Amino acid sequence: MSIENLLIEADQLLKAGDARAALEKYKEIVGIDEKHIDAHFMIGELHHQLGELPAALSAYLITTDLQPDHKKANVKIEMIKSIMDFFNPDLYNP
């Protein structure tokens, strides 16, 4: 399946409220193109939405590795680090 079709399916799943299934579609996209910045960012967004902060942080960090000036990902990284510092600093190693 093409990346374009997977993006369309992921968008439809998001509109239907199925974040978990959309997350899997974005992971499929990354499996095809590991440098797909938007897919990595959306993986972070969906993990964040699902309350999976360490996984979200990891996806956002990959996004900024690929595009260091990605403003939204950088903001999300700082937000999650702040939350994790408050709740449990042992969950990640900066």
Q: What is the pTM of this model?
A: 0.88
How much is the pLDDT for 1? Answer: 82
Six-digit token string for 25: 């579609």
78: enclosing H helix or E strand: helix 71-87
How much is the pLDDT for 54? Answer: 93
How much is the pLDDT for 85? Answer: 74
**Residue corresponding to tokens 């990346």:** 3
pLDDT digits (tens, 9 = 90+) for 9-29: 999 999 999 999 999 999 999
pLDDT digits (tens, 9 = 90+) for 31-71: 999 999 999 999 999 999 999 999 999 999 999 999 999 99
Six-digit token string for 45: 């967004």
Segments forming the whole domain that contains residue 84: 3-91
Domain count, the chain: 1
Q: Band of the pLDDT at 88, cuts 50, 70, 90?
A: low
Query: Any idea what the CATH number is for the domain that residue 84 is in?
Result: 1.25.40.10
How much is the pLDDT for 84? Answer: 79
SS3 10: helix
